[in-house]
Amino acid sequence: MKKIGFIDHYIDNWHADNFPRMIRDSAFKNDFEIALAWEETTPPGKKPLAEWCRENNVTPARSLEQVVDTCDVILILSPDDADRHLALSKYALQSGKPVYIDKPFADKVKDAKEMFSLAAKHKTPLMTSSSLRFTPALTAAKKDKIQGKKVRYVSSWGGGRFSVYIVHVLEMLVMTLGTGARRVMSVGELPEAPVLVVDYPDKRRGLLQLFPGLEFGLAACYGEGETLHLSDMQGFFEAFIDAVLNFFTTGKNLVPQKETLEIVAIQETATRALERRDHWIEVEIS
């Protein structure tokens, strides 16, 4: 049985609290166990590492290095603090062991490139993704309906705080519409409900929307006047956990690196666009 090591900014968060149960319930439940966990800090009001470990039957690690040295595969969480991913992952990315980094991968393209570069240099398998990428209805639609056809327009939407949840609607948009975004414009009137247009040089367009309490969904125009509307996004977390454990088993990243960099670049650009409504902001990846 392979040992999974958790590394987190702070361990008392929804992902860390629920991933153990999902792993135990997954198709790979007999192949993996969460052996060690470590957190960088314990914010006021949050559960400390020792208490979280007791509740989840996991051994608390003395250091980040102990987790990497002892475990077979590494899962770096910090789902609400993408700016900590580079620092939290540097040692693991030099280990040669499979490393999964939670969403959002990075808040800057520069950091994303550094993590990919470090992994490549040390032949460390690396994967990152929003869980929404593995939504059964979306993956089936892409395979059975969209594959091989030009997608001209995608609108993706959901709820939650921009810095943490825009990655979900971006992941769905990029995996469906493709890469090559040129610029982003914020057109929303309300700070709590951002609306952003993504423009491509070949006349493709994307629309990103976040509204409080809105369920995730996607609509697309593709082929010769064909349309797609997805509102049933059930089962995405279970499929996502299976995908991560499959990656841990094979060492093969299931997400194109080019798409991941595009997602980070659009999010970084969108963050700037929110400060200048109704102005195009160029997407910079290189």
CA 159 to chain centre: 15
For the chain, which residues make up each domain, given as ranges?
2-128, 132-237+266-282
Q: How confident is the model over 55-65, as pLDDT tens digits?
A: 999 999 999 99
pLDDT of residue 79: 96
112 by Cβ neighbours in 10 Å (0-12 / 13-18 / 19+) ranks as buried
Q: How confident is the model over 3-12, as pLDDT tens digits?
A: 999 999 999 9
Report whether pLDDT(238) > 90: yes
pLDDT of residue 188: 87
- Edge-to-edge strands, sheet with 183-186: 226-230, 217-222, 151-158, 205-210, 195-199, 183-186, 280-282
Averaged over 108-120, what is the pLDDT? Answer: 99
Inter-helix orientation angle 14-24/49-56, to 10°: 20
Architecture of domain 2-128: 3-Layer(aba) Sandwich (3.40)
pLDDT of residue 197: 99
Query: What CATH fold (topology level) applies to the domain 132-237+266-282?
Result: Dihydrodipicolinate Reductase; domain 2 (3.30.360)
pLDDT band for position 191 (50/70/90)? confident
pLDDT of residue 254: 96
pLDDT of residue 248: 99
User: What is the chain's mean pLDDT, rounded?
Assistant: 97
The answer to whether the beta carbons of residues 35 and 71 sit under 8 Å apart is: yes
Residue with tokens 């997608």: 151
Percent of the chain at pLDDT > 70 equals 100
Task: Name the residue among 225, 264, 286 with its Cα closest to residue 130.
Answer: 264
pLDDT of residue 190: 87
Distance of alpha carbon 192 from alpha carbon 214, whole angstroms: 12
